[in-house]
């Protein structure tokens, strides 16, 4: 399987690229961290994968399409896309200015759409798309911009699953709770600063509160390799929220 992972220079994307590299070829998507992306690609090669680093700002439709084209060229085709690129810039709604809101929604939701739209022609008839969402998309945590962007991914995944499922394309999402990443540190700092009773005040039902990026990567791998899961938003949150 040849897989493009966006936002793969660190965190969940990095862990996903390295986990998949044991069995699959990977394109390490990035925007602003070429050295880090190349380090991930090199580590993937050391695990036996064909790997390439591909650049593009997913908020720009042309750049997103260019990233897909580079992945196709570097891997000799494309079988799956993991839309992991994401940012957070939390603020209370009165302080959530246009630029901040548009950057978060543009990266997390619109960018995922742009990448997927460009990739569909390469993925048919039996490829895979996985969106990396968040508990924020169902619980409304973090802030309005982040929660809206992640909730949008759930609708996007299900709409695409209906549109393309009959042709064999599988589309799913994974919705993690707290993950030990730099982004989660930023989220927790913000929530503490505003005294917001978000997911940092809701206990899990397992001994650990947060998981490692590798745990989410394992779930992404499951969705890519299971041939009978469709339109699912799979929670990975330690029981923080039941559905």
Q: Which of 114, 146, 164, 190 is catalytic?
A: 146
171, containing H or E segment: strand 170-176
**Rounded Cα gap, residues 145 and 73, in angstroms:** 34
Q: Is 228 a catalytic residue?
A: no
| Degrees to nearest 5, angle at CA 66 with 60 and 67 | 90
**Rounded Cα gap, residues 126 and 36, in angstroms:** 31
Structure tokens at 185: 């540190």
**Rounded Cα gap, residues 166 and 28, in angstroms:** 29
Residue with tokens 């630029």: 99
| Contact residues for 182 (Cβ-Cβ < 8 A; gap 6+) | 10, 11
Q: Are 111 and 155 in contact (CB under 8 A)?
A: no
| Contact residues for 185 (Cβ-Cβ < 8 A; gap 6+) | none
Enumerate the active-site residues: 146
């Amino acid at each position: 399987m040849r897989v493009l992972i966006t936002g793969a220079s660190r965190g969940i994307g990095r862990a996903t690229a390295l986990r998949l590299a044991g069995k699959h070829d990977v394109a390490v998507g990035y925007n602003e961290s070429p050295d880090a992306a190349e380090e991930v690609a090199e580590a993937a090669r050391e695990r036996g994968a064909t790997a390439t680093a591909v650049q593009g700002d997913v908020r720009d439709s042309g750049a997103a399409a260019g990233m897909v084209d580079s992945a196709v060229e570097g891997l000799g085709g494309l079988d799956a896309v993991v839309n992991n690129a994401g940012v957070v810039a939390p603020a209370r709604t009165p302080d959530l200015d246009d630029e901040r809101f548009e950057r978060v929604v543009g990266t997390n939701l619109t960018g995922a759409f742009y990448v997927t739209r460009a990739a569909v022609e390469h993925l048919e008839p039996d490829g895979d798309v996985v969106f990396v969402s968040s508990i924020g998309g169902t619980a409304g945590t973090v802030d309005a911009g982040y929660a809206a962007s992640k909730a949008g991914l759930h609708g996007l995944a299900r709409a695409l699953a209906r549109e393309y499922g009959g042709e064999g394309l599988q589309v799913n999402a994974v919705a993690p709770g707290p993950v030990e990443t730099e982004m989660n540190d930023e989220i927790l700092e913000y929530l503490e600063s505003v005294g917001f009773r978000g997911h940092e005040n809701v206990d899990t039902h397992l001994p650990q509160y947060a998981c490692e990026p590798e745990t989410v990567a394992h779930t992404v791998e499951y969705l890519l390799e299971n041939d009978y899961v469709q339109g699912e938003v799979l929670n990975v949150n330690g029981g923080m929220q039941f559905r």
